């Protein structure tokens, strides 16, 4: 019997329909010689610390680090029924086709299950990029050998074990240290979440510490040949900062008065440059999240959920958790089918379609730049727009627009810079004249990004030439102040996570990191941000996100090597090396375990926490903590036991300072 193992019930239903497995069974579909079943995400999970010993039920530094000699997993209670069904089917199967999501996590969902159930039969891999019938049939005709995708499992397993080692050990370590210092909350530390949080904390501190500087501008309205336009005064170099802003009020006031008293300004030079902008690439998940955050105001998790529904439910777009915006050259053959499906889906596109060049090959088609997944594009079959929600339709139109843009000309415009002289003062004007709309015609809101550009840069200038004289109109002196950086939005934070190499200042890390290395993956970044929001480390403030007080406490408490985004990016690079066979799972996990061990040892040496008298309630030893009225001895099993003993002045100890621990923390890798 050939068994198809899918990731979700909806996926199983789609594949079963194409295979002709029409008979619904218990947690599966049956057909002639085949069965299609499914997981419900991860059916099993890594065992918690207490599964390795009763002593780990209580949090204490003495029991750290927890380094499993033999890793354990256990069946998730919430999906135990489906696990039993899948296990029984695996026992009967002679041939297995893994049909989970085509990524690192999908590989792990299937392989960890096969390992726990002891499956020894033949294995093949179904690699799907879309769930419409045509795409499923195409993938079924080209199954991959098991060995080709096995490294994905090693990489996912390495990620899972590293997350466990860091999360379980360091969350306990710093929570216990926090309790000893009087902080009663749990300080949750994560391999990806903590450096992500550091990005927001650093930005918030930069905003808080920002000192605004006053500066002055002079805006001058000119006209010629019956058409007016805006210009800006250019301050002398000795009164301007590096950004060209005038810092001396009297200089700006005098310039404004001289310009007002003049009758005209004369053009000194006109420089026009033709700018050609290539179509944007199809979306990767992160670029889709950035654009949807900026243009539609969607949270990154909401964007992922919508993209997943367009893929799974509506069959309208391809696999969403892609890290690439490029397309394989083999998909050029599908262009006529995709375009015909789009027109059948939305006949209102007919005027635009008349301008498409179906033979055009943009930079998006590049085998060398396609990773395991290609850009998110429409599927080969018509979709039902009426069945989509308003938000889903908006996201779909963005995805569709970026695909259609590949068949339209470059967007071309003339950018003009004009230098003028007026009463011995310098003026400057810029203008923009669209020459070829090109791919902008495909965008549902082609002017959305341009809204951020100042109007005076988008103005259409009148015909100007050297020597042209322009009449002086309104002259406005403006008193302004430099502005602090803006808080992160979720979309901007995704962008920062993806391009973290640009933010790293450590020369050693910067040299090692690839420019493409980020923290987290396309599939996990939204979950990381959502988790920080759920735990209360991040707070929504309109579209912006800010760090909470607990976030500042956590970032200040842990060593820099844990919070440094560059450290986590190095780990992500190592996971990629496992995926390509350049590093082994054992080597990576061993280095993580050694680093965690060193960190715990440094903390233990730094604190030297004395034991107090026995707890009056349970007899356990006590540790010093600080309350509202001062220090006291608290049961080491706190908060499970809340026994306490008053402390004498002679029994007081020096508190651990986070600075001391941060100095002694080991470097990762």
Q: Residue 338 contacts by C-beta under 8 Å, 6 or more apart in sequence?
A: 377, 378, 379, 380, 403
- Residue 324, exposed/middle/buried by CB under 10 A (0-12, 13-18, 19+)? buried
- DSSP calls for 163-199: HHHHHHHHHHHHHHHHHHTT--S-----TTHHHHHHH
Average pLDDT estimate for 621-641 = 76
Both tokens of 165, joined, read 């080692």
Q: Could you tell me if 189 and 448 are in contact, meaning their C-beta atoms sit under 8 angstroms apart?
A: no
Is 319 annotated as catalytic? Answer: yes
Average pLDDT estimate for 631-646 = 81
Report strand pairing: 95-99 vs 122-125.
parallel
Identify the DSSP state of 295. I
What CATH code is assigned to 2-142?
A: 3.40.50.140
User: The domain at 163-209+494-602 falls in which architecture?
Assistant: Orthogonal Bundle (1.10)
Residue 313 predicted with pLDDT over 50: yes
**Hey, is 5 helix, strand or coil?**
strand
**Hey, is 368 helix, strand or coil?**
helix
User: Which H helix or E strand runs over 531?
Assistant: helix 525-534
Give 450-484 pLDDT, tens digit per residue: 445 666 678 999 999 999 999 999 999 999 999 99
pLDDT of residue 612: 76
Q: Which of 550, 545, 628, 640 is nearest to 203 (CA)?
A: 545
Distance CA 559, CA 666 (A): 9
The boundaries of every CATH 1.10.460.10 domain in the chain are 163-209+494-602
What CATH class is the domain 214-278+411-481? mainly beta
Statement: 285-407 belongs to CATH 1.10.290.10:
yes
Both tokens of 384, joined, read 């039902």
The boundaries of every CATH 2.70.20.10 domain in the chain are 214-278+411-481
pLDDT above 70 covers what percent of the chain? 92
pLDDT of residue 92: 94
Residue 657 predicted with pLDDT over 60: no
Q: Which of 319, 396, 403, 488 is catalytic?
A: 319
Residue 227 predicted with pLDDT over 60: yes
| Backbone φ, ψ for residue 509 (5° rounding) | -70, -40
Give 571-618 pLDDT, tens digit per residue: 888 888 998 889 999 999 999 999 999 988 887 766 555 567 888 888
Q: Quick one: pLDDT band at residue 522, thresholds 50, 70, 90?
A: confident
Geometric angle at alpha carbon 517, from 511 and 519, rounded to 5°: 120
- Name the pTM for this structure: 0.82
| Radius of gyration from C-alpha coordinates of the chain | 31
Distance CA 259, CA 263 (A): 8
């Amino acid at each position: 019997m050939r068994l198809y193992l899918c990731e979700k019930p909806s996926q199983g239903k789609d594949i079963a329909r194409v295979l002709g497995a029409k008979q619904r069974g218990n947690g599966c579909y049956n057909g002639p010689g085949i069965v299609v079943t499914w997981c419900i995400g991860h059916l099993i999970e890594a065992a918690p610390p207490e599964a390795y010993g009763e002593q780990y039920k209580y949090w204490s530094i003495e029991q750290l680090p927890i380094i499993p000699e033999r890793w354990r997993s256990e069946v998730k209670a919430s999906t135990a029924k489906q696990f039993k069904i899948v296990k029984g089917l695996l026992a009967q199967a002679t041939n297995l086709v893994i049909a989970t999501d085509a990524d690192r996590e999908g590989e792990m969902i299937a392989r960890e299950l096969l390992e726990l159930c002891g499956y020894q039969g033949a294995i093949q891999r179904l690699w799907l990029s879309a769930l419409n019938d045509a795409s499923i049939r195409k993938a079924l005709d080209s199954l991959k050998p098991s060995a080709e995708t096995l490294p994905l499992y090693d990489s996912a397993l390495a990620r899972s074990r590293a997350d466990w080692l860091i999360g379980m050990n360091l969350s306990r370590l710093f929570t216990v240290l926090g309790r000893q210092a009087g902080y009663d909350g749990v300080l949750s530390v994560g391999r990806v979440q903590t450096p992500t949080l550091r990005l927001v904390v650093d930005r918030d501190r930069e905003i808080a510490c920002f000192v605004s500087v006053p500066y002055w501008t002079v805006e001058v309205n000119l006209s010629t040949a019956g058409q007016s336009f805006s210009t800006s005064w250019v301050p002398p170099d000795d009164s301007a900062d590096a950004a060209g802003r005038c810092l001396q009020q009297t200089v700006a006031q005098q310039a404004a008065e001289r310009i007002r008293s003049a009758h005209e300004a004369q053009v000194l030079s006109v420089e026009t440059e033709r700018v050609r902008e290539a179509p944007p690439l199809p979306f990767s998940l992160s670029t889709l999240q950035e654009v949807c955050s900026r243009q539609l105001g969607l949270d990154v998790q909401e964007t992922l959920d919508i993209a997943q529904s367009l893929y799974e439910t509506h069959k309208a777009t391809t696999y969403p958790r892609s890290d690439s915006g490029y397309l394989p050259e083999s998909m050029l053959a599908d262009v006529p089918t995709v375009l015909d499906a789009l027109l059948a889906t939305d006949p209102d596109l007919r005027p635009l379609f008349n301008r498409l060049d179906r033979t055009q090959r943009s930079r998006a088609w590049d085998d060398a730049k396609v990773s395991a997944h290609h850009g998110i594009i429409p599927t080969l079959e018509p979709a039902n727009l009426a069945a989509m929600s308003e938000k889903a339709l908006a996201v779909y139109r963005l995805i569709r627009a970026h695909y259609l843009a590949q068949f339209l000309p470059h967007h071309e415009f003339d950018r003009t810079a004009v230098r003028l002289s007026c009463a011995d003062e310098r003026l400057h004007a810029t203008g923009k004249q669209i020459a070829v709309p090109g791919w902008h015609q495909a965008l549902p809101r082609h002017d959305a990004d341009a809204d951020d550009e100042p109007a005076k840069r988008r103005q259409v200038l009148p015909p100007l030439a050297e020597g042209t004289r322009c009449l002086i109109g309104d002259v406005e002196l403006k008193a302004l102040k430099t502005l602090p950086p803006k808080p992160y939005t979720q979309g901007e934070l995704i962008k920062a996570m993806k391009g973290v190499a640009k933010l790293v200042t450590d020369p050693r890390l910067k040299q090692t990191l690839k420019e493409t290395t980020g923290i987290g993956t396309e599939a996990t970044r939204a979950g990381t941000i959502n988790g920080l929001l759920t735990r209360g480390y991040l707070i929504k403030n309109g579209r912006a996100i800010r760090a909470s007080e607990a976030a500042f406490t956590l970032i200040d408490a842990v060593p820099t090597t844990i919070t440094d985004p560059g450290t986590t990016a190095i780990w992500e690079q190592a996971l990629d090396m496992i995926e390509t066979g350049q590093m082994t799972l054992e080597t990576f996990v061993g280095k993580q375990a050694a680093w965690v061990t060193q960190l715990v040892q440094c903390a233990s040496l730094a604190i030297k926490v004395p034991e107090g008298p026995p707890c009056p309630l349970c007899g356990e030893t006590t540790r010093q903590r600080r309350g509202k009225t001062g220090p006291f001895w608290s049961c080491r099993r706190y908060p499970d036991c809340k026994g306490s003993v008053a402390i004498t002045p002679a029994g007081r100890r020096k508190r651990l300072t986070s600075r001391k621990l941060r100095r002694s923390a080991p470097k990762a890798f």
